[in-house]
Amino acid sequence: MRNKKKKYKGMTLVEIIIALAIFAMLGALLVLAGVQIDKTMQASNKLKKKMLVEAPYAANQLDNYKLSDGATQPFATEPLTIEVKIGEDAANVNGYLRDTEEIIKPGGMSDEEEAEYYRKANSRLNFKFIEIEEPTKPETKKP
């Protein structure tokens, strides 16, 4: 007589454990991706806050460089001196205005394309962001 083996249908315990381990690893990867997305969103929101703070300042600075015909004066690479008064003490600050055309002007463009490029570049206006201090929670010492 032949020894007949019973054929069991379904999964073995080892197969189930392996499947659970794979699902656990995939879940961990999803959590890590979610954390990275959250950090990216926080950085993006911080940058938007900086832009909102600097936008009025940048708009006012552009008006300061308008010529009589309403055109915006390009920045020159010439030294300038600014007197800054903090309290009762005056301090001299030396700086340079730079023509950003040297930095951003692309080559091989027609005059119309170049004019459109400068319009999109916000009339060669450079944004300089300020640091916004985030309020920190005081650390509490555990006894």
Cα–chain-centroid distance for residue 26? 30
Report pLDDT digits (tens) over 96-130.
454 455 444 555 667 777 666 666 655 444 444 44
Residue by residue, pLDDT tens for the chain (143 residues) are 566 677 777 888 999 999 999 999 999 999 999 998 988 888 888 888 888 887 777 766 665 666 565 655 554 445 555 565 666 655 555 554 544 554 445 556 677 776 666 666 554 444 444 445 555 666 666 65
The distance in angstroms from the start CA to the end CA of the chain is: 78
- Distance, in Å, from the CA atom of 72 to the CA atom of 64, rounded to the nearest integer, reads 9
3-state secondary structure of 112: helix
- For residue 39, the surrounding DSSP H or E stretch is helix 13-64
Q: Where are the domains of the chain?
A: 14-64, 67-126
Task: Evaluate if pTM is beyond 0.75.
Answer: no
Instruction: Collect all residues with Cβ–Cβ distance below 8 Å to 97 and sequence separation of at least 6.
Output: 75, 76, 77, 78, 80
